[in-house]
Amino acid sequence: MTLEETIAQRTKEYRRAAGLSVSLLAQRAGLSKAMLSKIENAQTSCSLTTLARLAEGLDIPVTALFRGVDVESEAVYTPAGHGAEIVRRGSRIGHHYQLLGALRGAGRRLEPVLVTLTESSEVFPLFQHPGTEFLYMLEGIMVYGHGMAGYTLSPGDCLQFDGAGPHGPQRLVELPIRFLSVTAWPDSPPR
């Protein structure tokens, strides 16, 4: 959308949400009905003064009229079986990690990993890291420890926990085991 189209759309959205008619908003903003109609139909470029009056009439910050302009959103696509293999602390004890995608930057520290445990994998309930972790069981059965508790996880089960507490597989019940691990890292980089 162009800048004018974005301002037009936001103006209509906020006017309707406030339950205001074009006439009433024009009056509150000190604008003519014709000018407000042109704004809402993206037929004019507004001056900063006009935008300030419009925002005041809607009782919103001026920046709300620009929401959506030049917003780039990122996406990471990982085809099945093509996630990057990564080495983690558990790699040396037979845990296989496949990174399914990651967005980096402020507030974008979500890391989904497919974890596979086989007959060559060992238990290790002492992993610790900053952030929050979420597990979703896909295949197999295991007892997963967090702190002093143990949770028997089967396909479809979920577990979410604070990564600072000691955690990890305590007992591998039915192999192979595959689960999705999604870690929300704090803004400082993981170690």
All structural domains of the chain with their residue ranges:
3-66, 84-184
pLDDT (0 to 100) of residue 189: 46
Q: Quick check: bond before 166 cis, omega within 30?
A: no
pLDDT (0 to 100) of residue 74: 65
pLDDT < 70 regions, the chain:
69-74, 103-108, 188-191
pLDDT (0 to 100) of residue 109: 78
For 41-87, the pLDDT digits (tens) are 999 999 999 999 999 999 999 988 888 766 555 677 777 877 778 78
pLDDT (0 to 100) of residue 190: 44
Strand ranges for the chain from DSSP E: 84-86, 95-99, 110-117, 132-146, 149-153, 158-162, 167-184
Angstrom distance (rounded) from CA 189 to CA 135 = 21
**CATH class of this structure's domain 3-66:** mainly alpha
**CATH class of this structure's domain 84-184:** mainly beta
Cα-based distances in Å from 25 to 39, 52, 180 = 12, 13, 51
